């Protein structure tokens, strides 16, 4: 039915009905918030795993979902070694565009809330699949970047890392001064091994932690997706924050269907009111 044809009373009826439907959900979320506050209060160690969803409210596109990057671009043509070898120019054009996108955004309240959350724990590790550097920009410490960093470059052949700013021209890709290999972005593509030291540390922290948060990730890309499962198997309390359910939701002790930029600041606010960091 077109908007103009609507019965004018329809909205008045719809509103109280939707409110009635909303209250049990709000109450449920509130109870869950208090239980998560208690979990934070009672646990001394915490691992947080973040994915693209935490940066969505900053304006960084996610990978999956209707608006995600993989809806417009094919991962096998852009995020694999084979793609880079067969068409380095296209791959560099894509990464130049993404560098520009993340260069223009700022951390959002979810990133800042995670920076604040670390104060409630003796041991706090922030494991991120994101390459955008927004957790560091927000002031978080002890960050493990599982999939690299979009601003860094490395040599395709000898793996030498170049941390300095390099403006890459996709038509004239620079060569490594050590071996002559092509320079590529220092991110982890499909089929590539993650940095052993980083992923091993992420697993050992997940095995020992008392509390684990999985935030803004579709929880399907391994080995990152194995971290919350490992933590849960070792007895950690598992909290998932994501507006959409994922394969992890059924396993989580608390599945919070909310945006991280809305729920996390509420959680930190509640913690500050009820149990300031010791």
Report the chain's terminal Cα–Cα distance, integer Å: 57
Give the nearest distance from C-beta 155 to Zn ion in angstroms. 3
Rounded Cα–Cα distance for residues 8 and 250 (Å): 42
Among positions 244, 247, 272, 274, the unique one binding ligand BJW when judged by CB under 6 A:
244
Give the nearest distance from C-beta 17 to ligand BJW in angstroms. 27
Q: 96: burial class by Cβ within 10 Å (0-12, 13-18, 19+)?
A: middle
Rounded Cα–Cα distance for residues 242 and 72 (Å): 22
Rounded Cα–Cα distance for residues 27 and 272 (Å): 21
The yes or no reply on residue 52 touching ligand BJW (CB under 6 A) is yes
Say which of 135, 147, 160, 222 is annotated catalytic: 147
Phi, psi at residue 275, to the nearest 5°? -155, 80
Instruction: Mark whether 147 is an active-site residue.
Output: yes
Among positions 63, 92, 112, 124, the unique one binding ligand BJW when judged by CB under 6 A:
63
Among positions 43, 56, 114, 271, the unique one binding ligand BJW when judged by CB under 6 A:
56
Burial 131-161 (b: 16+ CB within 10 A, else e): bbbbbbbbebeebbbbbbbbbbbbbbeeeee
The yes or no reply on residue 193 touching ligand BJW (CB under 6 A) is yes
Contact pattern from residue 130 through residue 169 relative to ligand BJW, giving x for each residue in contact according to CB under 6 A and a dash for the rest: -x---------------x----------------------
Give the nearest distance from C-beta 223 to ligand BJW in angstroms. 5
- Report helix, strand or coil for 183: strand
Phi, psi at residue 66, to the nearest 5°? -60, -35
Among positions 74, 89, 178, 222, the unique one binding ligand BJW when judged by CB under 6 A:
222
Among positions 214, 217, 230, 237, the unique one binding ligand BJW when judged by CB under 6 A:
217
Q: Which is nearer to ligand BJW, 23 or 97 (CB)?
A: 97
The yes or no reply on residue 88 touching ligand BJW (CB under 6 A) is no
Rounded Cα–Cα distance for residues 202 and 49 (Å): 9
Residues within the interface to Zn ion (CB under 5 A):
155, 157-158, 160, 176, 178-179, 181
Binding at 187: pick from Zn ion, ligand BJW, none (beta carbon under 5-8 Å per type)? ligand BJW
- Report helix, strand or coil for 130: coil
Pairing state of beta strands 161-162 and 237-241?
unpaired
Among positions 177, 180, 191, 235, the unique one binding ligand BJW when judged by CB under 6 A:
191
Nearest to 198 by CA among 126, 95, 115: 126
Residues engaged in binding ligand BJW (CB under 6 A): 51-53, 56-57, 62-65, 68, 79, 129, 131, 147, 187-193, 216-218, 220-223, 241-244, 246, 259-261
Catalytic residues: 147
């Amino acid at each position: 039915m077109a908007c103009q044809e609507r019965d004018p009373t329809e909205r008045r009826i719809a509103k109280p009905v939707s409110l009635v439907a909303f209250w049990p959900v709000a109450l449920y979320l509130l109870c869950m918030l208090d239980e998560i506050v208690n979990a934070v209060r009672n646990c001394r160690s915490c691992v947080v795993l973040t994915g693209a969803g935490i940066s969505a409210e900053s304006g960084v596109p996610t990978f999956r979902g209707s608006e995600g990057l993989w809806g417009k671009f094919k991962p096998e043509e852009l995020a694999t070694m084979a793609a880079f070898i067969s068409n380095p120019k296209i791959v560099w054009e894509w990464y130049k565009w993404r560098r520009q996108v993340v260069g223009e955004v700022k951390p959002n309240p979810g990133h800042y809330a995670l920076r604040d959350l670390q104060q409630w724990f003796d041991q706090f590790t922030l494991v991120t699949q994101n390459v955008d550097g927004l957790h560091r920009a927000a002031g978080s410490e002890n960050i493990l970047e599982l999939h690299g960093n979009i601003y860094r470059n490395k040599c395709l052949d000898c793996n030498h890392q170049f941390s300095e700013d390099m403006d890459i021209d996709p038509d004239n890709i620079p060569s490594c001064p050590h071996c002559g290999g092509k320079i590529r972005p220092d991110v982890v593509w499909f089929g590539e091994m993650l940095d052993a030291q980083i992923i091993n540390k992420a697993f050992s922290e997940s095995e020992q932690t008392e509390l684990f948060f999985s935030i803004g990730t579709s929880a399907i890309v391994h080995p990152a997706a194995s971290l919350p499962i490992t933590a849960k198997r070792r007895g950690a309390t598992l909290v998932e924050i994501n507006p959409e359910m994922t394969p992890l939701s059924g396993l989580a002790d608390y599945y919070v269907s909310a945006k991280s930029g809305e729920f996390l600041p509420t959680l930190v606010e509640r913690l500050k009111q009820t149990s300031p960091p010791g």
